[in-house]
A and B are shown apart, each in its own frame.
Chain A
Amino acid sequence: EPEVTQTPSHQVTQMGQEVILRCVPISNHLYFYWYRQILGQKVEFLVSFYNNEISEKSEIFDDQFSVERPDGSNFTLKIRSTKLEDSAMYFCASRSRVPLNTFGSGTRLTVV
């Protein structure tokens, strides 16, 4: 069964550092997403990406965040200057025209 792959599975970074979270969506999918889940809280939408541009972003997705799909396979989330409150699980998801999302196994980001 096709998978969404995320790396790394766990990243520890110092406050103020830049991090890049990587995702390889399912190859024939068209829509790409990042979600996050702070420990003990619900899954929250960050950003959606379609046709090589951001289609929607949440209030969480401020100027510190950016996404790229540089080579047609990878889909990355960059946080420019991490804060303690950025500590969370970050999930990448993708889907085809059929609205059924497949999630990656997530990257646990710990900001210290």
Chain B
Amino acid sequence: RKEVEQDPGPFNVPEGATVAFNCTYSNSASQSFFWYRQDCRKEPKLLMSVYSSGNEDGRFTAQLNRASQYISLLIRDSKLSDSATYLCVVNMGGNQGGKLIFGQGTELSVKP
């Protein structure tokens, strides 16, 4: 089983659509959770952290369900500029920094 698994994509949606990405992780000891976005051939950039209580940042809402080891990202009113690959990322924690484990990414293409 993959450590972090995401919807394979790609997602092709019109501007203004709502789109949801799903992610599951295998290690129940995982400590913190994130969504990153990655534009073509660029570095990953932090989009938002994900908390058990759910959190929202503008048009973006993230949810975490620790019991089912499931993470989601909802994008409302999608814009052309949202086109990118969305990476589900898990931090294993630990006293010495903790490595990030990345999913393979879900590509989003928003069309006019």
For A103, list chain B residues within 8 Å (CB): 43-45
- Known contacts: A99-B91, A103-B43. The answer to whether A56 contacts B104 by CB under 8 A is no
Interface residues on B, range: 20 to 34
Inter-chain contacts of A35 with B (CB < 8 A): 100
Q: How many residues of chain A are within 8 Å of chain B by beta carbon?
A: 28
Please report which residues of chain A, range 30-72, place their CB below 8 angstroms from some CB of chain B when the two chains form the complex: 30-31, 33, 35, 41-45, 48, 50-51, 55-56, 58
Q: Which chain B positions have C-beta within 8 A of A95?
A: 97
Interface of A is mostly: strand
CB distance B96 to A50 under 8 Å? yes
Pairwise interchain contact A99-B102, C-beta atoms closer than 8 A: no
- B residues touching A (Cβ–Cβ < 8 Å)? 31-32, 38, 41-46, 49, 87, 91, 93-94, 96-105
